[in-house]
Amino acid sequence: MRVTIRDLSKMKARGEKIAMITAYDYTSAIIVERAGIPIILVGDSLGHVVMGYDSTVPVTMEDMIHHIKAVMRGSEKAHVVGDLPFMSYQADTAEAIRNAGRLLKEGGCQSVKLEGGRAVADTVNGITKVGIPVMGHLGLTPQAVNQLGGYRVQGRTTKAAVELIDDAKALEEAGAYAVVLEGVPKQLAQMITERLAIPTIGIGAGVNCDGQVQVFHDLLGLFDDFSPKHARKYANLSEIIQGAVSHYVSDVQEQTFPTDKESFSMKPEVVQELTGQHFETV
């Protein structure tokens, strides 16, 4: 049986920290679930990590459903959250409900995530009322990167901090079961966490959130060119993988791969018979 939103609520009540990982495919889902991850986010950050876009804005519903289905095939116990992509929920509540329903019905995930605070509270309420659990997302909201003027820490002034606290309370009151706090000062994240009955999941928000989320590729060092401040590399797989592939290239060029053990053979008599045959080419 999969982890439920009720299980996550109990983890907060017990003071048990929640580890969440953002992953995008079958193989990574298998790996992180075997490692004991209770919740997997299929994030629209796949626009950056998998598809090579410079933002999450171009990601479509079809992209999200495709990757959610892959993660679902690779997991059995983890709670899987699917991101609602840009402009799949902002226009009106009815459209948001339909699209949230698609992520569950077609993708197979157990809940959805969307960005924003009081501005989307009615939408969150509408989605939850039809039985779809919603995770909120506040602070640095990547879908609003053009409005924010870049990927910048949010909530550093008194006014901005108060607005984020109000946004968090509005999401809780609207029925959200958890909220991601991204790119906010650790002190503010702690204040929000203490004020909410629902779990907070931090990314670049300090240690006092109820849980943390990291991207699979960041955590494993699969990128050489960029490492976010909030990410800790627990391995440097990019270097290992490049070394392995370089070794493979050399083996092919030097004809040391494949060996006889890595090849298939015919019986000698068949080879002999074929050698004496004349074959016409077409």
Other residues' Cβ atoms within 10 Å of the Cβ of residue 237: 16
Exposed, middle or buried, 6 (CB in 10 Å: 0-12/13-18/19+)? exposed
In sequence order, the β-bridge partners of residue 135 are 113, 178
> Half-sphere exposure of residue 118, counting CA atoms within 13 Å on the CB side?
7
Of 55, 19, 49, the C-alpha closest to 146 is 55
Q: Which two tokens stand for residue 112?
A: 């959805």
- Measured N-to-C along each axis, helices 121-129 and 158-174 cross at an angle, to the nearest 10 degrees, of 20
Which position among 62, 115, 182, 269 bears the catalytic label?
A: 182
DSSP notation for 183-246: S--HHHHHHHHHH-SS-EEEESS-TTSSEEEEEHHHHTT--SS---TT---S--HHHHHHHHHH
Which residue, 210, 217, 209, is CA-closest to 234?
Answer: 217
Establish whether the linkage from the previous residue to 258 is cis, with ω within 30° of 0. yes
User: Is 115 considered catalytic here?
Assistant: no
Phi, psi (degrees; rounded to nearest 5) at 47: -60, -40
Q: Which residues are catalytic?
A: 182
